[in-house]
Amino acid sequence: MINTKNAKLNAWVKMWADIMQPEKVVLCDGSDAEFTRLMDECVANGLAKKLNEKKRPNSYYFQSDPSDVARVENRTFICSKKKEDAGPTNNWMDPVEMKHIMISKYNGCMKGRTMYVIPFSMGPLGGAISQLGVEITDSAYVVGSMKIMTRMGKCALELIEKTGNFIPCVHSVGKPLPAGLKDAKWPCAPIDDKYIVQFPEEHEIWTFGSGYGGNALLGKKCFALRIASKMAQEEGWLAEHMLILKLTKTATKETKYVCAAFPSACGKTNLAMLIPTIPGWEVKTVGDDISWMKYDKNGQLRAINPEAGFFGVAPYTSEKTNKNALDSCCANTIFTNVGLTPDGDVWWEGIGYDCPVGTIDWKGNVVADPASRDKDENPVAHKNSRFAAPAEQCPAIDPEWENPEGVPVSAILFGGRRPSTVPLIHEADDWNHGVFMGSIVGSEVTAAAIGLKAGVRRDPFAMLPFCGYNMGDYFQHWINVGAAAKDKTKLPKIFFVNWFRKDNGKFLWPGYGDNSRVLAYIFDRCDGKGETVDTVIGKVPAAGQINIAGLTDGTNEESMEKVLAVNPEDWKAEVALIEEHYAKFGKHLPKELRERLDSLKKKLGM
Cα separation, 99 vs 178, in Å, equals 25
- 339: closest CA among 325, 352, 317, 358? 358
Residue 449 pLDDT > 80, yes or no? no
Q: What is the CATH number of domain 7-48+74-236?
A: 3.40.449.10
- 268: closest CA among 417, 122, 387? 417
CA angle 35, 37, 40 (to 5 degrees): 105
Give mean pLDDT, residues 431-452.
78
28 catalytic residue (yes or no):
no
Place 264 in a pLDDT band, splitting at 50, 70 and 90: confident
The CATH class, in words, for 240-307+398-566 is alpha beta
Q: What percent of the chain has pLDDT over 70?
A: 98
Give the Cβ contact number of residue 366 at 10 Å: 10
The backbone torsions φ and ψ at residue 189, rounded to the nearest 5 degrees and listed phi first, read -95, 165
Question: Residue 53 half-sphere exposure, CB side, CA atoms within 13 Å?
Answer: 1
Q: What is the pLDDT of residues 314-343, one digit of tens each?
A: 999 999 999 999 999 999 999 999 999 999
Q: What is the pLDDT of residues 44-96, one digit of tens each?
A: 999 999 999 999 999 999 999 999 999 888 999 999 999 999 999 999 999 99
Which residue among 169, 266, 355, 394 is the active-site one? 266
Segment among 228-237, 449-458, 552-561, 570-579 with least mean pLDDT: 449-458
The number of angstroms, rounded, from the C-alpha of 239 to the middle of its chain's C-alpha atoms is 11
Cα separation, 226 vs 36, in Å, equals 31
- 150: closest CA among 138, 167, 163, 164? 167
Contact 311, 216 (CB under 8 A): no
Average pLDDT over all residues of the chain: 95
Cα separation, 336 vs 382, in Å, equals 9
Pairing of strands 76-78, 195-199: parallel
Q: What is the DSSP letter of 397?
A: B
CA angle 495, 458, 149 (to 5 degrees): 75
- 256: closest CA among 291, 294, 290, 284? 284
Domain range list for the chain = 7-48+74-236, 240-307+398-566, 310-393
Place 147 in a pLDDT band, splitting at 50, 70 and 90: very high
- 423: closest CA among 513, 312, 298, 546? 546
Segment among 147-161, 257-271, 321-335 with least mean pLDDT: 257-271
The CATH-assigned architecture of domain 310-393 is Beta Complex (2.170)
Q: What is the pLDDT of residues 160-172, one digit of tens each?
A: 999 999 999 999 9
